[in-house]
Structure 1
């Protein structure tokens, strides 16, 4: 296998050369000594030497059902050989069946969906819909949130490293996020009385015109560092928004489709969004985006609209197969159980190694924040750990504004043996550093 692969692929050095010559440099990569990945099979990836890696990042929460899942792959292949593409101006069946299925699995009264090709497009469309429905143009977003690479999506983003646009859209106010480990008020939950949520009302009354269309928020901030709000946070937020007739857009691009132990992460908080956005895991690797909402909101959007590739037959077939695999294998429940197992293991490591300052998240969306003795971020140590874990055959993500949060977002088909191997190897490396 190794010899066949070596002859078949150009190798990481040549990939890096071509990347430097032909790819815009904003497209960065992990690792000082990267490998070339050439094959995926469920929770595993393989490089040009045939080396196996346990994927603990799932393409950033994309392949929840695993790489090249045979049932999803078959659905894609069957569809692509019969009807690959038409625009939404022609009638096809898969897109309406997928919209119906989403109405069944999304929370509350969410029913009508618009399909596009990415999470950025979904958030952009959701913001447009909120403005159409309310007649208002201002927005509130949370610090450390990430909502896309479009002009508006980037302007709604509260992470400096992703705010490349030097002239962002105006009319956006930022509220503090529910970052309990580094509370901006120096308080502790529950004694804080959700001060970060209460601040939203102050922002509405002071830094906006009072004509706000929506607040957009991730239930768990992925790129922000797996920031996980405490119980009651979103209920308080929703109460404030309803008082001022402001919609709640919940961005489930990273958190959706079983990732956190429930089909959607907002279900942990018992709140019904007015609009929900999704992408990534909906297609299990096929490019897809969508926003869904209640009929009374959706029905205000009547002027012609289309997405050339959104909801095309192949994408919809992949998404329908993905939803079936999630249901048939009860992957949200598996994520809840395995996530608790992994979180318990990480907490045990935290007791031994103060470098692990905080462990947070739900299900198989967990973050371990690395800190120095004075609690300042430790990104250099994290980079060293990730490099060594890669060499041992484990691919782990990193995020946070200081890039010091180790992110565990593996395919939901991972098993306890995989997690034991992950924890044992992480323990070895932490012990050496300690």
Structure 2
């Protein structure tokens, strides 16, 4: 490590501000880490942080996971090239075969392919373009506050980005994502029927190539859709000849307590997209779907280092962990533990508890929605930003989504003891923030979204 690499946290934050492009920075507090292990990060000076984000789920199986580290090291030491662009290698082929085995086929016997990419963004972009090419239709049915990627077609169908000023895809139609806590109809019992009626009307026009949906809307506020929503979209897609793309980039591979989040709804998508935890920090994504979607036009999704041996080796190690099932079972158990502790806090008389409007999620994809008060569901965005900042001061990494929801997505390998600690920090952070422990000036440089 050179002298340039050795700095205090304050020095690194200042250097970062001078040299790192603003378009790729989304900061909520002055986080600086020099190492990590499991669910822990280490700051300059040695302070440990319990990372309840797993780098927004990209390190879903923990930092420095020994099996993944060994696979990466072996691939790097004797790499058979650096791409599958104009050749292939064993780990790329085997990874694709293993993904086809892991992701169930919508139509048995129908030829399927795997696109291997770098991130969820390009996997979704390729899936969308492939569905348009296969159907000859321009339309995409997407959802408000959805997130499918940071640029290209994927960004254009991401409600989060469009709300923030990005250009909407010209073929996109955005519908409300059904939220039982904040029903757009004013009645939680009617939200699914209303959305499906709107979807039916759009699909009946015959111009929609694909419906793209998150099985649990993460950046939109950790929304778990009510029953019948995804099954209704499945039925409508079949009726009107549109492909159903389920974006599992953030919530797949065991995070929700099942291998695939769409399993909770009892459906099978046409195309499944994966990313983030698939590479456990290495750049790797995948789209798994019908050959007619992912084969044509030939050579239309080219990046030089796609399918590189190092990322593929990491992916194969990840899939071995997923197939073993222990991490998925742990996600189910630890998620229930964390949710129970947070719900207990929300029912308490502690000073911040009155601001907890809802605790929700599946497995280790949980959200805590903060509001003005138990009887006033007005979003408390400023309080949420301060609670996230205070959690960092107390030793945990927690990020806010949709302004007033604390997102909790720790590594799937997290221990029961660490979950107890996590719940204690989150509760204390909300208490302290509600008591004025964090000023407006402290969070002003960290406006996040």
Q: For residues 148-192 of structure 1, give each alpha carbon's deviation from its aligned partner in whole angstroms, at most 9, with x where no partner exists.
A: 122322210112576443x43312111110111111111123x65
Q: CA deviation at 1:107?
A: 2.7
Asked whether 1:126 is paired with 2:122, we answer no
Q: Helix, strand or coil for the counterpart of 1:425?
A: helix
**One of 268, 274, 283 as aligned partner of 1:272:** 268
Query: What residue is the counterpart of 2:141 in the other structure?
Result: 140
Query: What residue is the counterpart of 1:52 in the other structure?
Result: 48
Query: What residue is the counterpart of 1:15 in the other structure?
Result: 12
Query: Is the 1:88–1:312 contact (alpha carbons within 8 Å) kept by the matching residues of 2?
Result: no
Query: What residue is the counterpart of 1:368 in the other structure?
Result: 368
Q: CA deviation at 1:87?
A: 3.5
Q: For residues 306-325 of structure 1, give each alpha carbon's deviation from its aligned partner in whole angstroms, at most 9, with x where no partner exists.
A: 43211111111010011112
Q: For residues 389-417 of structure 1, give each alpha carbon's deviation from its aligned partner in whole angstroms, at most 9, with x where no partner exists.
A: 112211112101xx110000000111111
Q: Classify 1:428/1:96 alpha carbon distance in 2 versus 1 (closer, same or farther; 3 Å).
A: same
Query: Is the 2:179–2:191 contact (alpha carbons within 8 Å) kept by the matching residues of 1?
Result: no
**How far apart are the structure 1 equivalents of 2:40 and 2:392?**
13
Unaligned segments of structure 2, at least 5 residues: 436-449
**How far apart are the structure 1 equivalents of 2:8 and 2:193?**
51
Q: CA deviation at 1:40?
A: 0.6
Query: Is the 1:220–1:255 contact (alpha carbons within 8 Å) kept by the matching residues of 2?
Result: yes
Q: Classify 1:384/1:6 alpha carbon distance in 2 versus 1 (closer, same or farther; 3 Å).
A: farther
Q: Helix, strand or coil for the counterpart of 1:60?
A: coil
**One of 94, 97, 112 as aligned partner of 2:94:** 97
Q: Classify 1:160/1:294 alpha carbon distance in 2 versus 1 (closer, same or farther; 3 Å).
A: closer
**How far apart are the structure 2 equivalents of 1:179 and 1:193?**
9
Query: Is the 2:8–2:45 contact (alpha carbons within 8 Å) kept by the matching residues of 1?
Result: no
Q: Classify 1:139/1:225 alpha carbon distance in 2 versus 1 (closer, same or farther; 3 Å).
A: same
Asked whether 1:181 is paired with 2:181, we answer yes
**How far apart are the structure 1 equivalents of 2:292 and 2:161?**
36
Asked whether 1:393 is paired with 2:431, we answer no
Query: Is the 2:35–2:42 contact (alpha carbons within 8 Å) kept by the matching residues of 1?
Result: yes
Query: What residue is the counterpart of 2:238 in the other structure?
Result: 242
**How far apart are the structure 2 equivalents of 1:90 and 1:386?**
46
Q: Classify 1:153/1:296 alpha carbon distance in 2 versus 1 (closer, same or farther; 3 Å).
A: closer
TM-score normalised over the length of structure 2 = 0.89
Q: CA deviation at 1:56?
A: 0.4
Q: CA deviation at 1:367?
A: 0.5
Q: For residues 64-103 of structure 1, give each alpha carbon's deviation from its aligned partner in whole angstroms, at most 9, with x where no partner exists.
A: 1100111101110111110151343112111110011101
**How far apart are the structure 1 equivalents of 2:222 and 2:181?**
11
Asked whether 1:117 is paired with 2:113, we answer no
More off after superposition, 146-155 vs 13-22: 13-22
Query: Is the 1:356–1:368 contact (alpha carbons within 8 Å) kept by the matching residues of 2?
Result: yes
**How far apart are the structure 1 equivalents of 2:342 and 2:33?**
27
Query: Is the 2:143–2:175 contact (alpha carbons within 8 Å) kept by the matching residues of 1?
Result: yes
Query: What residue is the counterpart of 1:355 in the other structure?
Result: 355
Q: Helix, strand or coil for the counterpart of 2:36?
A: strand
Query: Is the 2:358–2:369 contact (alpha carbons within 8 Å) kept by the matching residues of 1?
Result: yes
TM-score normalised over the length of structure 1 = 0.92
Task: For 1:12-411, list aligned pairs within 5 A.
Answer: 12-32=9-29, 34-83=30-79, 85-109=82-106, 111-160=112-161, 163-165=164-166, 167-189=167-189, 194-205=193-204, 209-295=205-291, 297-298=293-294, 301-302=297-298, 305-328=301-324, 330-352=326-348, 353-373=353-373, 374-400=376-402, 403-411=403-411
Q: CA deviation at 1:388?
A: 1.8
Query: Is the 1:145–1:158 contact (alpha carbons within 8 Å) kept by the matching residues of 2?
Result: yes
**How far apart are the structure 1 equivalents of 2:266 and 2:89?**
35
Q: Helix, strand or coil for the counterpart of 1:115?
A: strand
Q: Classify 1:48/1:5 alpha carbon distance in 2 versus 1 (closer, same or farther; 3 Å).
A: farther
Q: For residues 276-330 of structure 1, give each alpha carbon's deviation from its aligned partner in whole angstroms, at most 9, with x where no partner exists.
A: 1111000000001211113454455546654321111111101001111233352
**How far apart are the structure 2 equivalents of 1:304 and 1:178?**
35
Q: CA deviation at 1:424?
A: 2.2
Q: CA deviation at 1:193?
A: 5.7
Query: Is the 1:11–1:36 contact (alpha carbons within 8 Å) kept by the matching residues of 2?
Result: no
Q: CA deviation at 1:260?
A: 0.7
Q: Classify 1:5/1:382 alpha carbon distance in 2 versus 1 (closer, same or farther; 3 Å).
A: farther
**How far apart are the structure 1 equivalents of 2:198 and 2:384?**
33
Query: Is the 1:339–1:364 contact (alpha carbons within 8 Å) kept by the matching residues of 2?
Result: yes
**How far apart are the structure 2 equivalents of 1:162 and 1:200?**
20
Q: Classify 1:31/1:297 alpha carbon distance in 2 versus 1 (closer, same or farther; 3 Å).
A: closer
**How far apart are the structure 1 equivalents of 2:290 and 2:321?**
26
